[in-house]
Structure 1
Amino acid sequence: MELTHEEVERYIDQISSGSKILDIGDEVVLFKFPSRYDLMRARRLYDKEYNDSIEEGLLSVDKMKELMKDRNLLTPEDRRKLLSAKSKLEAQKVLLAKTVKVKANQDRIKGIIHKLEDEIRIIEIKERSKFSMTAETKAEEYKILYLCWSSAYNFMTEELLWSEFDLFLNEYRLVFRQNVISEFILFYGGIP
């Protein structure tokens, strides 16, 4: 991937400042990397949300794993298929790396790799979908919402986009809020 001088400079500025400026809808948003205090507070909110979720009856990840095993939600056949597909995938990747002369063979192997990746994805989605209903997931989502709120500023005024966390949670412009969250997740994860 070739970057222009300006793009390199922009990425260096983002990394060194811990911030990013972007257009979201009609607004120019400034993200600032969360302060140590915000990170501590987010961990505290995570713990509270986790405990509240357990009290409300949501299962922890460990309990969900037990339940899935007890109820055979991911069957031994699914597990066998998953292991087999992963093994075959690795073998095909090795074969692809060694097949450098014949383009037709490379294309055939790439097709097999895509098919195996799809098989793996289907089984993993079946398993992961259950984990979206755990106390950890709910707590992690709440933590991310808090960090997003505390990191999103109006570019011109450098004031928080929402003066209070509750205003952010109850934002009526749902598409705008979701776009802010999505962009924050990319920013927080270090993805340009």
Structure 2
Amino acid sequence: MPEEIWKVVPGHERYEVSDAGNVRSAGRYDHLGKWREPRLMTKRRDKDGYLSVILAGKDMRVHRAVALTFLGPSLLPHVNHRNGIKSDNSLANLEWCSISDNVRHAIDTGLIVYGKDLNARRSKGWIQAEKSGFGLMLRGRQDLIAAGMNPSTVTSCLKGRRNTHRGFTITRVSPQNL
């Protein structure tokens, strides 16, 4: 098994994080000049199920520490666990992503069961837009806008008030048919 790679956590120079998702205090000399060996930090599970540690008196989620240290800062706000396991904070399992990418990944991997989560009333599912053999699968307002469609007009098509929008026939696709 390859040895862990340790790097200093940005903004927390007294702590190091490994590519395997472990966190330790950095080796240092104390105020008396005595050498203190690096010590693994105790990880605890927070209210959302993620592992966190206390660095300089503040909570920090381990997956964010690994991503900041090894992947660098990102404009994307979330860190996605590729395999969906919140306690697997290895570098190979983490990636920066947008909020919508994170939610889609959770739905696609079964972490959020379609129609059973707290926001099920708002979760409408996938929309299919078809035009002379060309089809689009869209989900959510941002996808509709990116495809050049007006979300209000698409809603009118889905409710039967209009037949088409920009030449596309709009239908809702159930999750079982994906």
Structures share fold, TM-score greater than 0.5 = no
The normalised TM-score by structure 2 is 0.23
Name which structure has the greater RCO, CA cutoff 8 Å, separation 6+.
1
The structure with more helix, counted as a fraction of residues: 1
Higher strand share: 2
So what's the TM-score if we normalise by structure 1?
Answer: 0.22
